[in-house]
Amino acid sequence: MNRVIHPIEEESYRRLRARLDTSHLPPLTRAVVERVIHSAADLEYADDLVMDEGELAKAHAALHGGAPVVVDVEMVAAGITRRETVCRLRDAVAGPGLTRSAHAIRLAHEQVGPGALWVIGNAPTALEELLTLDAAPALVIGLPVGFVGAVESKAALRESGLPAVSNVSEKGGSAVASAALNALLYHPVSTEEKS
């Protein structure tokens, strides 16, 4: 992807790197950490995020190979640039023991099947529902925000063994979730991935 980087963004990253040394991180991990920090102006994400470089590499290849991207809310979709996303929240309905966000995840799973990248930035119940499905995801970016269920749903994601980007604290949200996906989207494709 040829992307023109605005001078303001270049300066922002220069300042970020002046305050936080990320040079020791593997390339995709560094890309995700820096873009998430940049999206929130919150250096604490450097110690809060949890991810694995090998899983990121596989997800990066899947993303650039055309795997679908599913989001929990339109705000996450709005933050993902240069890529179509699937968001079924408008079609979803709440029911007994089922939030609209959870129902939207069920609908999206029926639509995309296995191998998608899932980006959850708002609703812990969406992440909880995803974990009950046999989604076989390429990656789950599980960064829902809040004081009710966010920490627990992200801990459950890490315990699930699914390839994931998550964080330990209550922090999260649409901007950071879409930033994590954009980091993979913007990162160059290696010659090995092209072949």
Which residues are identified as catalytic? 38
Expressed in angstroms, the distance from the first to the final Cα of the chain is 16
The rounded distance, in Å, linking the Cα atoms of 86 and 3 is 23
List, as one string, the DSSP characters of 105-167.
HHHHHHHH-TT-EEEE-S-HHHHHHHHHS----SEEEE---SSSSHHHHHHHHHHHT--EEEE
